Structure 1
Amino acid sequence: MFRLLDLHCHSCGKQINTWDQRCSKALKYKFPVCESCICKEYDLTADGLRDTMKEHFGMIPCQGI
């Protein structure tokens, strides 16, 4: 299960969870960004982003998401 962190999205202010943080680091964001803001930037759905992260980085979200 994912954990909420004491961090907030640099774009929208939403609280960041561990999956958001992992995605932000993998994509080399300077500041943490939530999954929905990443999806907006790349014009992807959440499932599309997760598939891309799995295919290119070998990352999968925990089952709680």
Structure 2
Amino acid sequence: MDDELKRIWVADEGCIGCRLCERACPTGAMRVEDKQARIDYALCIACGMCATKCRKGVIHDTLGIYAPAQ
């Protein structure tokens, strides 16, 4: 997938590896490795479930639709 089509992305810093995003992802696209969330864009459908569950607000979308959980 081209970078401009990646609507969901994870900041390089701030992830604590809690795996809430991993559990929220309906397609299994989110994986936490070495305390950093990573997205498999081949599986990602950009639904934003991961972003809404992230306690640290490090998962973003390029359109600014999904707000981090409070």
What TM-score do the two structures reach when normalised by structure 1? 0.29
- Structure with the bigger RCO (C-alpha within 8 Å, sep 6+) is 2
Higher strand fraction: Structure 1 or Structure 2?
2
Q: TM-score, normalised by structure 2?
A: 0.28
**Quick check: which one's helix share is greater?**
1
